[in-house]
Amino acid sequence: NEREHLFFLAHQQPPPERAMEPETVSATLQHFLDHQGLSPAFVLGRRWDVVAWNEAARVVFGDFGQMTTRERNAVWRIFTSPTHRQLLVDWEGNARRLLAQFRASCGRYPGDPRLTELIHDLMLRSPEFRAWWPDHEVLGAPEGHKTLNHPQAGYLLFEHLTFQVFDAPDLKVNVYTPLDEADTPAKLSQLLSERSSVSRGF
């Protein structure tokens, strides 16, 4: 809540030099992502850039490996990408929640020039971001359900969980567990099978 957020700002800011370190994931964490099977999973860094992902995340959310760093930014994508907007059922609700979480996390890195640049560019690019950014709502990373409308597979339903890495608290692991509703597991299996066939040249 907002009171806890203010307490964190006052007492729990990390050393400023840590905010400028390059972000990488360990081989163990990548192994964890790769073994989530049908569950799309990815890791967000301190500036909300996707820094690691698994194959299921790639077939659901797009080929992160072909994106620029800015295009891989979760906040930038949700507010500027028409494709991502179409993917999210209840785009506004998802965007407002993500923005509140982003606002809370920004307090850990006051004066970070890359975050400042990101916010500035979003203010210029997105009218919704510009209208909602002055709000004071802050949220921690939630558990919950998420519905997507995939361009090939149609509706996909997930349980969504976010957690921090113990020895790298700047990293946020996001796991989407498919629910049986709307035949989500079968659709994901088909998407992964088709992607595998394309990769092998079949």
List pLDDT tens digits, range 106-122: 888 888 999 999 999 99
Q: What integer is the mean pLDDT of 13-23?
A: 59
User: What is the rounded (10 degree) CA torsion for 79, 84, 90, 95?
Assistant: -30
0.85 exceeded by the pTM? yes
Strand ranges across the sheet with 144-150: 50-53, 41-44, 168-178, 154-165, 144-150
Q: What integer is the mean pLDDT of 143-171?
A: 93
Res. 96: pLDDT tops 90: yes
* Number of DSSP helices (H) and strands (E) in the chain, helices first: 9, 5
The tokens describing 113, both together, are 């020039």
pLDDT for the residue 202: 35
In sequence order, the β-bridge partners of residue 175 are 41, 161
Res. 91: pLDDT tops 70: yes
Domains of the chain: 2-8+26-200 (3.30.450.180)
The candidate with the shortest Cα–Cα distance to 61, out of 16, 94, 26, 92, is 94
Q: What integer is the mean pLDDT of 56-73?
A: 97
> Which helix (H) or strand (E) covers residue 128, if one does?
helix 127-132
